[in-house]
Structure 1
Amino acid sequence: MSERELTSSNFADETDPFRLFGAWLEEAKGSEINDPNAVALATVDEAGLPNVRMVLLKDFDSRGFVFYTNFESQKGTEILASGKAAMCFHWKSLRRQVRLRGLTEIVSNEEADAYYKSRPVGSRIGAWASKQSRPLESRFALEKAVAEYTARYALGDIPRPPHWSGFRIRPLTIEFWHDRKFRLHDRIEFRRGSLDESWEKVRMYP
């Protein structure tokens, strides 16, 4: 079965959620105007209140879904504390949604270093200059910090900050939603009780 075939109405026949996600993401790349890899990331704070924000998915495979951030940011500290997170992709042009939630792990130093080196110079400097999620007294203070780190790393490589790396969400559930007429949508959920278990596929009421 080709990836193109997986994007049609027979997507419910697929048994590998990662393969199905890859097919949907590829099609989204051809139809979404901006950032088909944009995803809402949900975390929870110490008081149990949820937080959600948009991030960019940078990689995925059978292990899970990867994004990068400042570990001292709100999302970083919340994920480090709970070890759990959730994501929701919504491709409006395709009328499709993918939700997933599960356990988190930190990517390897090799993975983080490779991605960090692929970023534009300005983004690498920004990872040093921005005290993400903390109060900023003025825009000038941020621009001053950028200038200072630009001067510091004017020559040679810009090292990855020790507080900047990636998280991988290892899903326990992945749900695929496809719009249908009269709100009689297709919902297929893949679920497993632990990371070592096989996937169970269940069709859900819309």
Structure 2
Amino acid sequence: MSLNEQREGIEAGRLDMFVDGAFAFILTLLLIGGESIPDSTGKLLLTLGGIPAFAMSFFQIAFFWHGHVRWRKRCHGATPAGRWLSLLLVFFAMIFVYPLHMVFSGVFNWLSGGLLPSDFHLVGGPADMRTLFACYGLSYACMAGTLTLLFMHAAKTAAKHGFNNVDSRREMRIWSVPAAIGLVSTLTALLLPLSAPGWTWSIPGFMYSLLFLIGPVVSRFNRRYASA
């Protein structure tokens, strides 16, 4: 291994440690107990009521973090593009965490009929829903879009060095699906009239059920490039 390759390996490792640490810090912002430790059983039960929202938020953050882990498996070197895109992913993640927790705490509060606690309160009615779904969808799309660009970079780097880049191109298409869904959800929230019936404000949220389209996208890609 050349000195340059060793240097690149060290730089890549430092970047990965920074990204991992940043995502770990982001998870601490989702602490179900907030800033204080419960000092009574009543407060303890109230705090535990935030577990469902915390679990879903945890899963979403882990989903994007694991995307970066998979990218590193396909792009071992340290490149300026990979470095800046990784930092951009962390930047968007630190924005995403706030609407993320508000959305899921609100959802579980609504599903439980108010039994589970929520930090989100609809003071402004539909206008608040529009703002929340727009912020959530846009930050979601930005994170997925950044991962799409990371895998695009990995595919170009592999092709440049004469390696097979099918896996990177597959991942690029996978992440383009949540990126597109996030954008469509955002546009839907912004275009819905404030006078629309209350149930219509669930449409931007239900659009994320379209993530099942990742399966058909991958299947089509595999059929097309089976012999690649």
With the shorter chain as reference, the TM-score category is: under 0.3
Which of the pair is proportionally richer in helix?
2
Which of the pair is proportionally richer in strand?
1
TM-score (norm 1): 0.25
